[in-house]
């Protein structure tokens, strides 16, 4: 009891609010534990300090290991995407959304809705130096449009499939809601796997593999989690269906830390990603995506921390500490402490 | 001779120009060897294919190892920088440049020149979604202004020094010259080390350490190189002096693959980075930077490749191959081949 009082006093001295007051504890601990510095002069864009960045890179390393185990290849696409590609994506998404609302197959609809999709969430680059750019560009919020433009060139024959790629890159969303370190940020440290398959079944098997990867990562991070197929209103508009992985945070709210999308052949049609099958026919690919971010670190911080501060699982702790009681039996004080 | 003819025929079949025609060979080989895909629809922004990205990450790993050996800590700063910070930087650079041209110490000058510096080379973000941003921002061409804003908060006392940090991030320059994979690109895979020291001498020792790191990396990459203190007209305008590292490419041109800048206390004055010395006085820090990029890979490709294609040194080759002649002495054909 005396020791617990000491802990509480020490924590208060460092300015750590009680963990039970999670909405005060979380934003305080990410700075007190030297994970990030929030004093950078743009809202929602924190500076990663060495300790936080090391922890994040160790989580990334778990992901890289899983990607290698499952035969995904790492690529790196440009950050900037030409506006014309967004328009193509938005036409697709408007059509899929309308079809879903009407309860019909997207192929039955040919509409020319006002494009929407990500248009309201992206940062635009329209000027360089003193010039207005002929070709406006935006910062990727995610890389479907950038990647699928090249997938259409990379995939030729059934021998090129499955195409399993991923990247870990910075992505951007113009968040208007309140930002929170790792949980809702404007520059996102983003993992995105993109795959292309010969048919719907093979894409479905990819989703199963993704969920197996999630299970392994959550085991390594010691995080209990929920897997749910999202209801229609919460499905990514470009997806046939979305399976999301949530962690229950101490404030009683769920935090979505990963999502897997089955795209069927909808994007492949829009971006003309097709292959010559063994029977000589040309068919569109079926695609999936699997995304994660620094929310994994946010979940680790939130779920494992306590009144005294940060607690990290050994799989991604930058400092590995082993306590070895030495001749503890000879001293009651030492054995009490351990 | 017959084998050489065969090689030449095989190379021609893959479309590899002769290495002696370097200006044709280089842009061809980066695609033929699957390092990048140049068909992305923005000039100067290539897609890193898995093999190229793996090679680059292995070079990065050599750099990480050197940074760890020398006690640098890895950080990660936001990509976007508020316009007001650029103005501060440009005022500083205009003053330093004018002082250098007048041959006087910058402290003797108080001018209000038109800011220039990077203003003509940056990509601007002035809109997000449908909104015009209250605070215009630009994509970092390098991170002095972003970092030094925080350094001013991180450095308090002599005990905080030396501060040795680095990051490997994407930076952007609006290149108007002809672009070339790895050599002149618009999205740069950039390594930048930034340090702060108690005095000029300690910063000078940092430059010496940087040059030792360069020597080790160049040894690992099997690259002959030149180290030169740049003449005034070729010194980074923000620097007291610049030492640059060049590799001689097969077309007879030098390629600058690294540069080290001694900033003295000029940036520290502009950004108010000061510390309390042991004697209780407050003094400005002296700073250095050390930069490298994917030009290292460009140099490796250019210097080591030949008519048959790519040749990578073992330190960063994604595939490690060892040829073991088996009972070669019993077969003249095998011993000829080896």
Residue ranges per domain, chain B? 2-79+140-316
Distance of CA A128 to the CA centre of its chain: 30
Write out chain A residues lying below 8 Å of B60, CB-based.
Answer: none
Exposure string over A155-175, b if 16+ CB within 10 A, otherwise e: beeeeebbbbbbbbbbbbbbb
Write out chain A residues lying below 8 Å of B150, CB-based.
Answer: 37, 39-40, 47
pLDDT above 70: residue A106: no
Over residues A137-150, the pLDDT tens digits come to 999 999 999 999 99
Of B128, B154, B187, the CB nearest to A78: B187
pLDDT above 90: residue A248: yes
pLDDT above 60: residue B110: no
- A110 pLDDT tier (thresholds 50, 70, 90): very low
Which helix (DSSP H) or strand (DSSP E) does residue B262 occupy? strand B254-264
The answer to whether the Cβ–Cβ distance between A45 and B130 falls below 8 Å is no
The answer to whether the Cβ–Cβ distance between A128 and B122 falls below 8 Å is yes
- A238 pLDDT tier (thresholds 50, 70, 90): confident
Structural tokens at position A245: 């992985």
Residue of B47, B138, B188 to mutate, interface with A, max A Cβ within 10 Å:
B47
Specify burial of residue A197 (Cβ count, 10 A radius: 0-12, 13-18, 19+): buried
Task: State percent of chain B over pLDDT 70.
Answer: 89
Which helix (DSSP H) or strand (DSSP E) does residue B128 occupy? strand B123-128
Q: Are strands B163-172 and B73-74 parallel, antiparallel or unpaired?
A: parallel
According to the model, what pLDDT value does residue B114 have? 44
Residue B284 near residue B268 (C-beta atoms within 8 A):
yes
Q: How far apart are CA B94 and CA B133, in angstroms?
A: 27
Specify burial of residue A285 (Cβ count, 10 A radius: 0-12, 13-18, 19+): buried
pLDDT above 90: residue A263: yes
Write out chain B residues lying below 8 Å of A80, CB-based.
Answer: 42, 45, 123, 187
Of A73, A123, A126, the CB nearest to B50: A73
End-to-end CA distance of chain A: 15
Of A53, A78, A125, the CB nearest to B47: A78
- Residues near B336 by Cβ (< 8 Å), separated by ≥ 6? none
Beta-carbon contacts below 8 Å between A and B: 133
Write out chain A residues lying below 8 Å of B50, CB-based.
Answer: 73-75, 165
If one compares B84 and B170, the residue with the highest pLDDT of the two is B170
| Topology adopted by domain B2-79+140-316 | BirA Bifunctional Protein; domain 2 (3.30.930)
Chain A 219-238, CB below 8 Å of chain B: which residues?
Answer: none
Write out chain A residues lying below 8 Å of B54, CB-based.
Answer: 74
According to the model, what pLDDT value does residue A115 have? 46
Q: How far apart are CA A216 and CA A316, in angstroms?
A: 14
According to the model, what pLDDT value does residue A120 have? 75
- A326 pLDDT tier (thresholds 50, 70, 90): confident
Q: A173-177, A230-234, A235-239, B283-287 — which one is most confidently predicted on average?
A: B283-287
The answer to whether the Cβ–Cβ distance between A125 and B139 falls below 8 Å is yes
Residue whose pair of structure tokens reads 């041109």 in the numeric block: B253
Structural tokens at position A161: 């499939």
Residue B274 near residue B155 (C-beta atoms within 8 A):
yes
Measure in Å the smallest separation between the Cα of A36 and chain B Cα atoms.
9
According to the model, what pLDDT value does residue A194 have? 98
Q: How far apart are CA B322 and CA B313, in angstroms?
A: 13
Task: Establish if B80 touches chain A: CB-CB under 8 angstroms.
Answer: yes
According to the model, what pLDDT value does residue B12 have? 64
Residue of A52, A54, A78, A185 to mutate, interface with B, max B Cβ within 10 Å:
A78
Residue of A77, A128, A163 to mutate, interface with B, max B Cβ within 10 Å:
A128
Structural tokens at position A318: 């930058």
pLDDT above 70: residue A233: yes
Specify burial of residue B250 (Cβ count, 10 A radius: 0-12, 13-18, 19+): middle
The answer to whether the Cβ–Cβ distance between B119 and A126 falls below 8 Å is no
According to the model, what pLDDT value does residue B3 have? 55
From the CB of residue A29, how many other CB atoms can be counted at a distance below 10 Å? Answer: 23
Task: Average the pLDDT over B300-325 and give the result.
Answer: 94
Partnered with residue B138 across adjacent β-strands are: B81, B124
According to the model, what pLDDT value does residue B1 have? 41
Give the number of residues written for chain A. Answer: 338
pLDDT above 70: residue B118: no
**ipTM beyond 0.85?**
yes
Measure in Å the smallest separation between the Cα of B123 and chain A Cα atoms.
4
Of B45, B57, B149, the CB nearest to A41: B149
> In chain B, what is the greatest distance between 2 CA atoms, to the nearest angstrom?
82
The answer to whether the Cβ–Cβ distance between A121 and B129 falls below 8 Å is yes
Write out chain B residues lying below 8 Å of A58, CB-based.
Answer: none
Residue B55 near residue B284 (C-beta atoms within 8 A):
no
The answer to whether the Cβ–Cβ distance between B76 and A47 falls below 8 Å is yes
Which three-class secondary structure string do you get for chain A?
CHHHHHHHHHHHHCCCCCCCCHHHHHHHHHHHCCCEECCCCCCCCCEECHHHHHHHHHHHHHHHHHHHHCCCEECECCCEEEHHHHHHHHHHHHHHHHHHHHCCCHHHCCCCCCCCHHHHCCEEEEEECCEEEEEEEEECCCCHHHHHHHHHHHCCEHHHCCEEEEEEEEEECCCCCCCECCCECCEEEEEEEEEEECCHHHHHHHHHHHHHHHHHHHHHCCCCCEEEECCHHHCCCCCCEEEEEEEECCCCCEEEEEEEEEEECHHHHHHCCEEECCCCCEEECEEEEEEEECHHHHHHHHHHCECCECCCCHHHCCCCCCCCCCCHHHCHHHHHHC
Task: Establish if A241 touches chain B: CB-CB under 8 angstroms.
Answer: no
The H helix count followed by the E strand count for chain B is 9, 14
Task: Average the pLDDT over B78-87 and give the result.
Answer: 92
According to the model, what pLDDT value does residue B117 have? 58
pLDDT above 60: residue A4: no
Q: How far apart are CA A18 and CA A12, in angstroms?
A: 8
- B111 pLDDT tier (thresholds 50, 70, 90): very low
Write out chain A residues lying below 8 Å of B149, CB-based.
Answer: 40-41
Residue A259 near residue A247 (C-beta atoms within 8 A):
no
pLDDT above 80: residue A10: no
Chain B 110-149, CB below 8 Å of chain A: which residues?
Answer: 119-131, 135, 137, 139, 146, 149
The answer to whether the Cβ–Cβ distance between B48 and A77 falls below 8 Å is yes
Measure in Å the smallest separation between the Cα of B116 and chain A Cα atoms.
10
Of A40, A119, A174, the CB nearest to B150: A40
Task: Assess whether the previous peptide bond of A2 is cis (omega < 30° from 0).
Answer: no
- B87 pLDDT tier (thresholds 50, 70, 90): confident
Measure in Å the smallest separation between the Cα of A70 and chain B Cα atoms.
15
Measure in Å the smallest separation between the Cα of A127 and chain B Cα atoms.
5
- A237 pLDDT tier (thresholds 50, 70, 90): confident
Q: At CA B148, angle to CA B146 and CA B149, rounded to 5? A: 70
pLDDT above 50: residue B182: yes
Over residues B121-149, the pLDDT tens digits come to 899 999 999 899 999 999 999 999 999 99
Over residues B201-242, the pLDDT tens digits come to 999 999 999 999 999 999 999 999 999 999 988 888 889 999
pLDDT above 50: residue A253: yes
According to the model, what pLDDT value does residue B88 have? 79
């Amino acid at each position: 009891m005396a020791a617990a009082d000491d802990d509480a006093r020490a924590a208060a001295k460092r300015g750590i609010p009680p963990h039970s007051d999670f909405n005060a504890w979380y934003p305080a601990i990410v700075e007190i534990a030297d994970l990030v510095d929030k004093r950078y002069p743009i809202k929602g864009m924190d500076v990663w300090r060495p300790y936080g960045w090391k922890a994040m890179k160790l989580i990334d390393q778990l992901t890289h290991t899983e990607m290698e185990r499952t035969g995904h290849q790492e690529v790196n696409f440009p950050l900037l995407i030409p506006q014309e590609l967004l328009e193509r994506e938005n036409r697709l998404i408007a059509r899929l959304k309308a079809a879903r609302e009407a309860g019909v197959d997207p192929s039955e609809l040919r509409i020319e809705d006002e494009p929407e999709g990500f248009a309201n969430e992206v940062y635009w680059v329209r000027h360089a130096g003193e010039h207005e750019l002929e070709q406006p560009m935006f910062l990727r919020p995610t890389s479907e449009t950038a990647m699928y433009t090249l997938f259409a060139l990379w995939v030729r024959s059934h021998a090129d499939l499955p195409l399993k790629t991923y990247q870990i890159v910075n992505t951007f969303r113009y968040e208007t809601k309140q930002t929170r370190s790792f949980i809702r940020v404007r520059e996102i440290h983003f993992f995105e796997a993109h795959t292309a398959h010969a048919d719907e079944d093979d894409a479905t098997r990819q989703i199963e593999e993704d969920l197996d990867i999630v299970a392994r990562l959550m085991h390594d991070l010691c995080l209990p989690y929920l897997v749910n197929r999202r209801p229609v209103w919460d499905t990514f508009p470009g997806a046939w269906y979305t399976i999301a992985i949530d962690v229950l945070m101490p404030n009683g709210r769920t935090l979505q830390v990963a999502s897997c999308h089955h795209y069927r052949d909808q994007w492949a049609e829009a971006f003309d990603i097709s292959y010559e099958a063994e029977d000589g026919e040309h068919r569109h690919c079926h695609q999936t995506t699997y995304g994660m971010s620094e929310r994994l670190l946010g979940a680790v911080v939130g779920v494992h921390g306590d009144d005294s501060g940060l607690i990290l699982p050994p799989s991604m702790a930058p400092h590995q500490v082993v306590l070895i009681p030495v001749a503890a039996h000879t001293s009651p004080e030492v054995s009490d402490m351990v």
